[in-house]
Structure 1
Amino acid sequence: MRSTTLGRAADGDLTTRARIRDAAIEVFGERGFATGVRAIATAAGVSPGLVNHHFGSKDGLRAECDAYVLESIRAAKSESLRNPTPAGLLAALADIEGFAPVVAYVVRSLQTGGALAVSLFEQMVANAEQYLAEGVEAGTLRPSRDATARARYLATTGGGGLLLFLQLRADSGGRIDYRKALREYADQMMLPALEIHTEGLLTDSMMLDTLLDKPTPRPGQGD
């Protein structure tokens, strides 16, 4: 997937279903999930009836948007870990603003909360475990003592850090210029993130060794 195009073909040709989905991702991200089908139809240049024809309801449309956004993130992460190249990294950095609609959609979903937000996050964790495993298999990542826990940690800290970074850039009305904010995020965070992930932070393993050697309390024991 090209991040700048939300799945559009190179010549801009989209099926009606895909055009509605892409419009919905952008509209939901900008205005929230209370936005009605009519506004999405207007953005897509179709009738509200055609939206319902393709997706059954707004809930059906949101489910498809969730699935598409999740797969877009997973595919991009997987490619960067299975086949990392200098050209690929530089291209992703040059194109960082193109992720704005997807990031806005995820942020809006997590801020809205509820069962759908929980489901979205849990799928993000599952996807992270998958693409991290692909990185281990490809030899670009070190294996983990607990691959599931590592995936949840990275999804939580990465997502939480990005949410905080973006929220601090909201204007007085709560609006965020996602394209500008993502460029700032890449400029400020990429170097320290890669440094920590590549070279590590601690100079020895004392704290990790202490945690690994800590006895596990049996049921009924106190702290």
Structure 2
Amino acid sequence: MPDPDDLTARARIRQAALAQFAEVGFQKATIRSIAAEAGVSPGLLRHHFGSKEALRDAVDAYVMDEIRRANDEVSEASRTGDFASTVDREALRPFQRYLARGLLDGSPTVATMFDQMAAMTTQWIAAADETRTDRPRTDHRTRGALYTAMVLGVPLLHEHLSRVLGIDVLSADGDRRVALAMLDIYSHALISTELAEQARAALYPEPP
């Protein structure tokens, strides 16, 4: 049976790596600095994870598990209409910073994470299309990928967005402001379906 203290140390190392990778990036973070933040020895870190690359893989898997869990909770709340006890956005904030740093650094592992997030978003769009009265002109996968890119644009561009809004959008108050604004955007069409058809015809006319 695993030693409970051993499991606790492993979790602390993972959390410390998540914070360090988000703050300074994978290349600048070191085994020694992560171990120090976790309150363990570099040797114990290597015992649990072997290498910094393997540790990043473990953090990636943890982040994606939490994102999937949050997605499932929101999906269930959407189905039942009960959002009273849905996702803890405070708990998800470190993951936003982690993803933003990975996107800035061009991390190869973030590419896989983006694909998985886009797949989840595509499922949401497919479900929403079932209640649409107007026929979509583009496929689920294209719209899912674009929605994912738009959402990830918030943590990626958080410094510029924070400057314009006058508040750190990755703080509790800033996150609340962004979330409420996103709900407004999602729930109210920017243009009418008629205007969209006119724009589509003008930009991309049907061949004769």
Q: Distance in 2 between matches of 1:40 and 1:78?
A: 31
Q: Which moved more, 1:194-203 or 1:21-30?
A: 194-203
Structure 1, residues 126-170: CA drift from partner, whole Å, max 9, x if none? Answer: 33334x26x82xxxx334652211210111111113422344448
Q: CA deviation at 1:25?
A: 0.6
Using the alignment, how far apart are the partners of 2:140 and 2:30 within structure 1? 40
Alpha carbons of structure 1 residues 35 and 167: separation in structure 2 relative to 1, 3 Å: farther
Partner of 2:3: none
Counterpart residue identity of residue 158, structure 2: F
Q: How many residue pairs end up in the alignment?
A: 188
Residue 221 (structure 1) aligns with: none
User: Residue 197 of structure 1: CA displacement?
Assistant: 1.8
> C-alpha separation between the residues in 2 aligned to 1:117 and 1:151?
17
CA 1:112–1:96 in 2, change beyond 3 Å: closer, same or farther?
A: same
What is the TM-score with the length of structure 2 in the denominator?
0.74
Kept in 1: contact 2:168–2:174 (CA 8 A):
no
Q: How far, CA to CA, are the matches of 2:32 and 2:207 in structure 1? A: 56
Q: Unpaired runs of 5+ in structure 2?
A: 1-5, 131-135
Cα deviation code 1:33-62 (max 9, x no counterpart):
121111111111221122122212100100
Larger RCO, structure (CA 8 Å, separation 6 or more): 1
SS across alignment from 2:193? coil
Cα RMSD for the two superposed structures? 3.1
Question: Which residue of 154, 163, 167 corresponds with 1:161?
Answer: 154
CA distance in 2, matches of 1:178, 1:42: 29
TM-score (norm 1): 0.70
Rounded to whole Å, the distance in 1 between the matches of 2:154 and 2:168 is: 17
Matches of 1:52 and 1:26 in 2, distance apart?
A: 18
CA contact (8 A) 2:158 2:169 kept: no
Aligned equivalent of 2:93: 100
Give the superposition deviation at 1:178: 6.9
- 1:193 equivalent in structure 2: 182
Deviation at 1:215, TM superposition (A): 4.1
Does residue 59 of structure 2 align to residue 65 of structure 1?
Answer: yes
For structure 1, list consecutive stretches of 5 or more residues without a partner in the other structure: 1-12, 171-175, 218-223
Secondary structure (helix, strand or coil) at the match of 2:147 reads helix
Query: Secondary structure at the residue paired with 2:191?
Result: coil
Does residue 45 in structure 1 map to residue 39 in structure 2? yes
SS in 1 for 2:129: coil
Q: Secondary structure of 1:26's match? A: helix
Query: Is residue 86 from structure 1 mapped to residue 83 from structure 2 by the alignment?
Result: yes
1:108 maps to amino acid: R
- Name the CA shift for 1:45/1:146 in 2 (closer, same or farther; >3 Å): same
* 1:193–1:32 distance in 2 versus 1, CA, 3 Å: same
What's the offset of the Cα at 1:216? 7.4
Q: What SS is found at the alignment partner of 2:85?
A: helix
- CA–CA distance in structure 1, aligned partners of residues 187 and 195 of structure 2: 19
One-letter identity of the residue aligned with 1:28 = F
